[in-house]
A and B are shown apart, each in its own frame.
Chain A
Amino acid sequence: MSATPTAIGSGPAWLRRVVGEAHDQMRVARGLAVAATVVVFVAASVLIATHIAYVWNAGADEARIVELEGRTKGDPEVAARLHEERKRQTDASVARETRGRVLAWVLLVASGVFVAAERWWESLRPDRVPSLEELVAARFGIVTAEMSSPGRHLGRDKGALGNGRAEDAGTEGVATAKPRGEGEGYIAPETVDLEFVDGLIDRFGRDREAAIPILQAIQAHFRYLPDEALKHVCEKTEITPAQIAGTSSFYSQFRRSPVGRHVVRVCHGTACHVAGAEQITEELRRHLEIPPDEDTDAQRRFTLDKVACLGCCSLAPVMMIEEDTAGRLTPATARQALDAVAKDS
C-alpha cells in the first residue's frame, strides 16, 4: 500500500500548494502539534505556579494586614504603611486574575491547535484505516472523484449483503490488510486473458500430448483453471473436453475454483504426520475459521492445501506459504507465520 497514501490522502489542492505533498504536510502537522503541546504545558505550569504562590503567601499577607490594623491606632505612619500594603495586595490580585484569564485562553487555543494538528497528521499516515471509497479506488485503480460502475457495484453489493457491512468497511479493511481479498467475485479476473492461452498453444503445440503442459501453465498463471480458458483450449487444439475433464480432475496439481490470496500447503508426508501435521492443519483451520468442507477462509486470504510430501522431511512438520518453506512447526509458530504473511501483504 505504499503508493496509495500520497494519492489518496494529500488533502485539497490549495493545501498542497501552500505546504507541499503529504510528506511535507506531515512534517508541518507534527511541528504544530509539538509547539501546541509545549505551549499547553507552559501555560498550565504558570497557572499552577501562580496558584501555589498565592496559597503559600495568603496567610502571611492576611496576618500582616491584621497586625498593621492593630497597630494603626493614632499612628499615621503605620496607617500609611497599611494603605501601602492594601494597595500592593489589591494590585497583585488583579494582576493574577488577568494573567489567569489570558493563560486560560492560551490554553484553550493551544489545545485546539494540538487536536487539529494531530488529526491532520493522522489523516496523512500511510497505515491509517482507509475509507470505503478509498478501498474501492485502490482496488479498481479509479480516482475517487469519478468512480465508475465496478466500484459502485462493490458498494452496492456490500449494502445488499446487509449485515451492516458497508458501515464497518473501515475496520474490515484492517482485518483483510489488503482491500482485494473481499468476496468470491473480486478475486477472479472479470475476463480471462485468452491471448495468453493462445501463446501457450503456440508454445506447446496442438496435439493431445500438450494437454498437461498447457494446463500446468494455465494453472501457474491464473492459479486455477478458468472455464473460459479451458473452452478456448478445446476450440483451438485437438484436446477434447473429455480429456481436459479427465486430466484436470485426476492430477492434484489442478483446481477448477479460484484460490485465496495465499496458498498454504501443509505437508502430510510420513515424517510430518509423525511430527504432528494433523495438529498443524487443525490449528490453522481453526485460526482461519475455515468451514469444514472448504479450503479457503471467508475473507479469501488463505487457501489451505494438504499435500503428500514436500520433500523436506528432516524439517518436519513443514508447510509452504507460496514458495517459502517453513519447517519445525508447532501449531503456534504455524499460526504466527500466517499472521506475519497476512500483515505483510
Chain B
Amino acid sequence: MSTAPQVEFRVGLASCGVANGARPVHEALEAAVREAGRGVARAVGCGGMCHREPLVEVIDDHGQRAVYTHVTPELVPGLVRRHLRPRGLLTRARWLAAGLAAGGNGLQHATSEETTAVPRIVLENCGRIDPSSLDDALAHGGYEGLRTCLEHLSPEGVVEMISASGLRGRGGAGFPTGRKWSLARAQPAPKYVICNGDEGDPGAFMDRLVLESDPHRVVEGLAIAAWAMGAEEGIFYIRAEYPQAVRRVREAIRQAEARGVLGERVLDRDVRLRFEVREGAGAFVCGEETALIASLEGSRGMPRLRPPYPVEKGYRGRPTAINNVETLACVPWIVRQGPEAFAALGTESSKGTKVFALAGKIRHGGLIEVPMGVTIRTIVEDLGGGVPKGRTFKAVQLGGPSGGCLPASLRDTPVDYEALRESGAIMGSGGLVVLDDRDCMVDMARFFLRFTCHESCGKCTFCRIGTQRMLEILDRLCSGEGREEDLANLEELADRVSRTSLCGLGQTAPNPVLTSLRYFREEFETHVREKRCPAGRCTALTDYRINEAACIGCTMCAQVCPVGAIAYRPHEPHAIDLALCTRCNMCFEACEDGAVEVTSRGGICATSPSAQERAG
C-alpha cells in the first residue's frame, strides 16, 4: 500500500441510516473497494441529513468532498467507478466496459449548501469519523481539550472558562453550566458526575445521534467536567431503547481506558477517572435529576423534594453534578477554541449553538445545528425545506411534552431560552415537530397529555389524578362529547397541576394544553360547540367520502382499503361504506385524482391532493 492519501468512502451507519438500508450499501462498498484494490470504505455515524439516507460521502485523494444521497447497493459500483481507478489492467478494462454498459446512473448529489451548513460544535465530527475507532477520534482532535486542561489549566480555570462561554444546560431548563460546576467544585469529595442520556422526549433524538456518532466527544466532555469538579467517578445514564448508543459508549470507555486516557493515571498524570454506563429502564421521569439518582440507586424513579439539591446531596448521598449529553458535547470545543468563540455565537442570554431534531410534516427532516437566535422560520422553511407540497404550515411543537405549540404566525420567534419561554413553549431538549393543516391541535394536546399522564410517577396527587382528569376532558372533546364548561375546567386543572407538582414533569405537563388553548382557542371551541374537527383528524368526528365528479374509477382506494369499505368497481365512481370505514386515511393517501374528501359534520376538511399537487 502506498502512503498517498486514500480515497475514502464513508457510509452513515447510525440507527437512522441502518433503518434506511445503509448496511447493504456498506457491504457493497466494501466489496467494490476490495475488488478495486484501493480506497477504503468506512462506517461513520450520522451527519444529520436523515431524510436523505443512505448517505455516502467520498473524500478523494485531493481532499475533495462529494456527498451522494439515497444510495442503493445497485448504485454502488457506478459510484466507486467514478472515484477510483482500480489496480490491474483487466479489472480496469472490465470496469470501463461496465461503466459504458450502465450508461447514466441514478446517483444523486447533495447540494453544496446542504453539506456546508452552519458552524458545527456538537455535531463537529458526526458523520465524519468512525465512532468505534479511538484513533479516528484522536486524528480529529479528540481528547485534545482534556489534554489542554491537564497540561495548561487549573480546575478553577476550566470552570471559569465554561462560565465565560455562557453555556447553559441543553436538557431543557437552561441552568448555567458554569454555575453548576462551581457549586459542585465547592463540595467535599467524593463526588460524582453523571451524563444524562435518558432522552425521553418523544420527537427528540439528538442525544442518541451524538452518542452513536461521536461517543468520544461526550466521554471527553464528562472527563473534563469530572476533573474540573474534582470528581473521580462518572456515570453515563443512557436509555435502554438506544442499544447502539449504549454499545458505542461502553466501547469508547474501554478504548480510552486501554489507551490511558481514562483510568488510574489519566494521560500520565496523577488524575484518576473511572466511568461506567448504566442503562435507563424506560421511564420518562428519570430525566429529572432526583428521579435519575433514585433509579441509579435501584429504586422506583421518583423525584424527591429539593433542596437538598443533587449538587449537595445526590447519588449515594454525595455531591453529584448531572449534565446533559449535548451540554457535555459542547465542552471539549469550548476548551479547544476558547470561550470567546463560543460566546460569539448566539444571543445576549443564550450562547452557542443548539441542535434540533427536525421531524413531522417537513420535507427535510433530520438533525440540524443552528446558532442560538435564529428564527423558527429559518429552521422550518430554509433548513427544513418547508412542509410538503399541497399542505400549509400550521404550527411547530417545541420541547415535547413540557413544551408547546407555536402557531405559524409566531414563526419569527428567535430560538432563545427567554424568548421561547415568553411565548409559552420552552427550548426543551430540542425536539421540533412541524405540524400542517391536517393536524388537530386538540388531538396534539391530548397526545402529550396522554404521554405525561402515563409517565407520571404518581407521587404528587395533582400530577397523578389531575392529568388523568384533563385527559378525560380532552378525550371527550375529541369524541364529540365536549361540554360548555370543559375549557374552563381544563384551564383551572392545568393551573393546579403545575403549581402543586414537585418536579418538572408535573410542573410543565399542562404546557401543551395551555399553549394550544392560548393560540388555537377557536379550534377547541369548534370541538365543544359544533362537535366538529376542522383538521379532520379526530376519528369520531370525521367521515370520508368520495367526490363522484372527480373520481375516475381507478380502484386505487379500493385496493388499499384494509377493511374493504370501498367496493371494487373499475371505471365507476367509488363509494365508501362508512359503517365499515375505520378512518385510517389510506384512501386519502392513495387517491391521485383529488377525489377523496375528509369531512366533519358536513364541512369539508381536506381533499386528497392530485398527482400534480403532490409533485408540486
Q: Does A210 reach chain B (CB closer than 8 Å)?
A: yes
A213-B278, A331-B584 provided; 12 other pairs, C-beta below 8 A?
A211-B298, A247-B300, A253-B281, A270-B202, A271-B202, A286-B562, A311-B208, A312-B50, A313-B205, A313-B360, A314-B16, A316-B359
Q: Does A115 reach chain B (CB closer than 8 Å)?
A: no
The answer, among B51, B242, B298, B586, for a CB contact under 8 Å with A314, is: B51
Residues of B within 8 A of A315 (CB): 16, 19-20, 50
Q: Does A190 reach chain B (CB closer than 8 Å)?
A: no
Whole-angstrom distance between the Cβ of B512 and the nearest chain A Cβ: 10
Whole-angstrom distance between the Cβ of B426 and the nearest chain A Cβ: 15
| Cβ-defined contact, A314 with B366, below 8 A | yes
Residues of A within 8 A of B448 (CB): 270
The count of residues in chain B whose C-beta lies closer than 8 Å to any C-beta of chain A is 60
Q: Does A310 reach chain B (CB closer than 8 Å)?
A: yes
| Cβ-defined contact, A323 with B562, below 8 A | no
Asked if A327 meets B584 with Cβ closer than 8 Å, knowing A253-B281, A273-B447, A311-B15, the reply is no
Q: Does A184 reach chain B (CB closer than 8 Å)?
A: no
Residues of A within 8 A of B301 (CB): 250-251
Q: Does A72 reach chain B (CB closer than 8 Å)?
A: no
| Cβ-defined contact, A327 with B298, below 8 A | no
Residues of B within 8 A of A310 (CB): 15, 241
Whole-angstrom distance between the Cβ of B582 and the nearest chain A Cβ: 7
The answer, among A209, A210, A253, A271, for a CB contact under 8 Å with B240, is: A253
Nearest residue (CB) in B for A325 is B19
Whole-angstrom distance between the Cβ of B526 and the nearest chain A Cβ: 20
Given the complex of chains A and B, what is the CA–CA distance between A207 and B201 in angstroms? 31
The 10 A-B pairs of least Cβ separation, nearest first, read: A270-B203, A314-B365, A269-B202, A313-B359, A314-B50, A251-B281, A325-B19, A271-B359, A311-B205, A252-B282
Residues of A within 8 A of B295 (CB): 212
The answer, among A243, A271, A318, for a CB contact under 8 Å with B19, is: A318
The answer, among A211, A216, A286, A308, for a CB contact under 8 Å with B202, is: A308
| Cβ-defined contact, B203 with A313, below 8 A | yes
Asked if A331 meets B562 with Cβ closer than 8 Å, knowing A215-B281, A216-B279, A253-B240, the reply is yes
Q: List 15 A-B contacts (CB under 8 A).
A: A212-B281, A239-B298, A247-B298, A250-B283, A252-B281, A253-B240, A270-B400, A270-B431, A270-B433, A282-B582, A311-B204, A311-B208, A313-B205, A315-B16, A327-B19
Chain A, range 240-259, C-beta contacts under 8 Å to B: 243, 246-247, 250-254
Q: Does A9 reach chain B (CB closer than 8 Å)?
A: no
| Cβ-defined contact, A309 with B281, below 8 A | no
Nearest residue (CB) in A for B18 is A325
Q: Does A177 reach chain B (CB closer than 8 Å)?
A: no
| Cβ-defined contact, B586 with A330, below 8 A | yes
Residues of B within 8 A of A212 (CB): 278-279, 281, 295, 298
Q: Does A234 reach chain B (CB closer than 8 Å)?
A: no
Q: Does B284 reach chain A (CB closer than 8 Å)?
A: yes
The answer, among B281, B360, B447, for a CB contact under 8 Å with A216, is: B281
| Cβ-defined contact, B299 with A243, below 8 A | yes
The count of residues in chain A whose C-beta lies closer than 8 Å to any C-beta of chain B is 52
Given the complex of chains A and B, what is the CA–CA distance between A246 and B457 in angstroms? 11
Asked if A276 meets B585 with Cβ closer than 8 Å, knowing A212-B281, A286-B562, the reply is yes
Q: Does A147 reach chain B (CB closer than 8 Å)?
A: no
Nearest residue (CB) in B for A254 is B281
Given the complex of chains A and B, what is the CA–CA distance between A251 and B203 in angstroms? 20
Q: Does A263 reach chain B (CB closer than 8 Å)?
A: no
Given the complex of chains A and B, what is the CA–CA distance between A274 and B201 in angstroms? 15
| Cβ-defined contact, B242 with A311, below 8 A | yes
Whole-angstrom distance between the Cβ of A291 and the nearest chain B Cβ: 17
Q: Does A268 reach chain B (CB closer than 8 Å)?
A: yes
Chain B, range 478-511, C-beta contacts under 8 Å to A: none
Nearest residue (CB) in B for A311 is B205
Residues of A within 8 A of B299 (CB): 208, 243, 246-247
The answer, among A283, A307, A311, A323, for a CB contact under 8 Å with B584, is: A283
Q: Does A326 reach chain B (CB closer than 8 Å)?
A: yes
Given the complex of chains A and B, what is the CA–CA distance between A335 and B415 in angstroms? 40
Residues of B within 8 A of A210 (CB): 298
Q: Does B340 reach chain A (CB closer than 8 Å)?
A: no
Whole-angstrom distance between the Cβ of B523 and the nearest chain A Cβ: 16
Nearest residue (CB) in A for B367 is A314
| Cβ-defined contact, A313 with B365, below 8 A | yes
Nearest residue (CB) in B for A265 is B241
